Structure 1
């Protein structure tokens, strides 16, 4: 592969918004094991939060995807492949990035519960503030407001 071709491929991988419009690959070989990547991501994504029992599985998948991405990128950086193979690697890297983005957006289930609790506490504080501001607080009205 020529140097300018290699640079073009690397630029495509590192381009801002490279994953826009890119599909998550159906299957991908990750660390020597074939993974049904699209099904896995959509299965986890459907839940919106990662249940405690699935957290380790998702973390392991993200770690393996990052490692696979790095290995593929290094093959291009070290000019170990033909231009055509480099193009296939770039497409797979961008697909891996798309899957990683989807998995990174997930929140652990306990964070969801914490956010709900925080919202309930905020609403309670707001209601107390309004009661005081409108003079409907039991203590303020007994003191003789006017």
Structure 2
């Protein structure tokens, strides 16, 4: 493969919107193991939230997909491959990206952490309200002392 062809493939893979209209591959080999990717993604996306028992499985799948994506990208960047092999790799990378986007859009997989963040923000707003209501606004107190 020529250097300019390699550059074109890399630009295609990294382009914003590259996954628009792309299909999630039916199956894909990830870390030497065959994965029914499309079925897995649709099975997980069908639910409103990721059940507690599935969170680890989803996180592990995302991690494995990212690793596989990076390995395939490296093959395009540095591998001794033909133009056809490069095209196939680029298509599979875009399919992996599409699957990752679908899995990432599921929302927070750590609901406990999200709840703690929300509670902290609520507490901060409440304390701010109380300080203002009681006339203990921090800014006003520092200005009076000057």
Whether TM exceeds 0.5 here: the answer is: yes
Contact 1:49 1:109 in 2 (8 A): no
Larger radius of gyration: 1
Unaligned residue ranges in structure 1 (runs of 5+): 122-146
1:35-77 deviation line (CA, Å, top 9, x unaligned) = 0000000000000211111000000000000000000000010
Q: Write the mapping of 1:91-102 to structure 2, written as runs, cut at 5 A.
A: 91-102=91-102
Structure 2 residue matching 1:34: 3-state secondary structure: strand
Q: Provide the C-alpha distance between the structure 2 equivalents of 1:109 and 1:16, rounded to a whole number of angstroms.
A: 27
1:73-117 deviation line (CA, Å, top 9, x unaligned) = 000100321110000000000000000000001133736x95xx9
Question: What TM-score comes out, normalization by structure 2 length?
Answer: 0.74
Corresponding residue for 2:111?
110
Contact 1:6 1:79 in 2 (8 A): no
Contact 1:51 1:109 in 2 (8 A): no
1:1-48 deviation line (CA, Å, top 9, x unaligned) = 001000000000000100000010000000000000000000000002
Q: Provide the C-alpha distance between the structure 1 equivalents of 2:110 and 2:31, rounded to a whole number of angstroms.
A: 28
Corresponding residue for 2:46?
46
RMSD over aligned Cα, in angstroms? Answer: 2.0
Structure 2 residue matching 1:49: 3-state secondary structure: coil
Q: Provide the C-alpha distance between the structure 2 equivalents of 1:34 and 1:13, rounded to a whole number of angstroms.
A: 23
Question: What TM-score comes out, normalization by structure 1 length?
Answer: 0.74
Corresponding residue for 1:127?
none
1:104-143 deviation line (CA, Å, top 9, x unaligned) = 01133736x95xx98xx9xxxxxxxxxxxxxxxxxxxxxx
Unaligned residue ranges in structure 2 (runs of 5+): 123-146
Runs of 4 or more above 3 Å deviation: none
More off after superposition, 74-83 vs 60-69? 74-83
Corresponding residue for 1:30?
30
